Structure 1
């Protein structure tokens, strides 16, 4: 199968037009302004903020207000919200629109984290279809002319799939696109994503763009997903960790060009240093930025011959000067290691029985007794 497509048609998400149908998936603690700017420097598409809890935003907590800030170079300001209460989500959307803080808003219904699902939030929420519908309808109404989209999973587990019904409800509410991570909450990030579910969703939802997510580790994977499923675009998460140049590969593939970045170790070092520099700008605190870049060390240098002692030192650095001194020790001429630098990255986890509220699966309707627990589900976690 080819690693390129015939030039892809632009993707329309409401009034927004993406020349390249690629979206950076929200990842908590990862897709801050610094990482979004870095990925944008390599490629094209839509770059979404890390997930923001709607209640924290309505309460205007300092951290949530910092996270919704965009750099002036981010010409399409995209924010993902997580919420469980229709009123609170609508208030959060209203605030973003009234204060002109976003050009695109996404709602997350894909979080598989037990702390969220055991309260009925995240990937567990679409099981209560009326609650899901109320949240989405209220948010679309509050968004007005700003395109509002949703991201979800297949369902809770193989016996409790929700994505087709939820997608129909979202389409009926007027969302601008629907993204599907083709796993259930029970699968977490393990195993292989079920791309056939994306095909089925695309066959079911014909008037709203459908985006596919799951196991896109390369531009070739993205091309294969589009060809196999017919989806209108792709959402890339863990595949770009330590590989911001993946967005250049993706842009080329969707423009019908043959390109695959094969960076030398020196080029990786430049990207790593640029990421650290952008984090300093984001945090306005060099020490905090250097602590934050530590989690990216293993992803950037995956497959390269970089000794354990040097990796450990990079993961303990506390200043840009120290990072510069350590990067200078690398063999900058070391060539791209091929397959060793590719493939899965990030934690996959293992399949598990989802944590859910007591008797959650007994009915598709939301008992009044669960509403207090749903409020408690508004925690800040990654999840797609």
Structure 2
């Protein structure tokens, strides 16, 4: 069994070092620490310096750092700059499960795979959906997938329309229909940048 904690209840009541010792003495196999307090919720930046300090208060169990790991580069930096045995990617992987492959490549010193194209991201989401439905059944699986489908569309052109409709689905037919009609498959900003790159190359 492992445990996960925050730095404390608030910035005025940070007690993670003491709690870490209690967790280890209670028999936990590992400790994960998120670098914010409960009062912070998800505001501000995760305090990795505080996470790193906890290592000296543990005798034998691994320390796993968590917070703001939304890129492969940040995962590598966490290992390079802080005293942690492992890291946990949390919110950042919702709608971006390829982040694990990107981080693994970076840690091996290999080129980081590019972000999938929007059609490829849609295909990953549909595979994710099928796995959820296989596990929980059509109705419950579809309802559970609403949240994650919204994550896949986050930050994309037209995401609001997709979220509005996918939040109401309750059957596989409805889910696939909404994905087919509303999932963002075009990124005007990226397409404009690509066009400019082609134009610049042609003019050189």
CA gap 1:326/1:175 in 2 versus in 1, 3 angstroms: closer
Name the residue aligned to 2:153.
301
Where structure 1 has 5 or more consecutive residues not aligned to the other structure, the ranges are 1-147, 339-384
Q: Does 1:215 align with 2:68?
A: yes
Name the residue aligned to 1:234.
87
Q: TM-score, normalised by structure 1?
A: 0.45
Deviations 1:258-281 (A, max 9, x none): 223411111121122122212211
CA distance in 1, matches of 2:41, 2:126: 32
Q: Helix, strand or coil for the counterpart of 1:297?
A: helix
Name the residue aligned to 2:51.
198
> CA shift at 1:206, angstroms?
5.1
Alignment map for 1:1-384 (pairs within 5 Å): 148-205=1-58, 207-284=60-137, 286-306=138-158, 308-329=160-181, 334=186
CA gap 1:207/1:336 in 2 versus in 1, 3 angstroms: farther
Q: Helix, strand or coil for the counterpart of 1:215?
A: coil
Name the residue aligned to 2:198.
none
> CA shift at 1:307, angstroms?
5.7
Q: Helix, strand or coil for the counterpart of 2:42?
A: coil
> CA shift at 1:185, angstroms?
1.4
CA distance in 1, matches of 2:64, 2:79: 9
Runs of 4+ in 1 over 6 A off after TM superposition: none
CA gap 1:311/1:317 in 2 versus in 1, 3 angstroms: same
Q: Helix, strand or coil for the counterpart of 1:151?
A: strand
> CA shift at 1:216, angstroms?
1.0
CA gap 1:333/1:209 in 2 versus in 1, 3 angstroms: same
Q: Kindly indicate which of the two structures has a greater share of residues assigned to helix.
A: 2
CA gap 1:337/1:270 in 2 versus in 1, 3 angstroms: farther
> CA shift at 1:181, angstroms?
0.9
Deviations 1:296-323 (A, max 9, x none): 2331012222364444223222332333
Where structure 2 has 5 or more consecutive residues not aligned to the other structure, the ranges are 191-204
> CA shift at 1:242, angstroms?
1.0
Please identify, of 306-315 and 267-276, the stretch whose mean Cα deviation from structure 2 is larger.
306-315
The number of equivalent residue pairs is 190
Over the aligned positions, Cα root-mean-square deviation in angstroms equals: 2.5
Q: TM-score, normalised by structure 2?
A: 0.81
> CA shift at 1:333, angstroms?
6.1
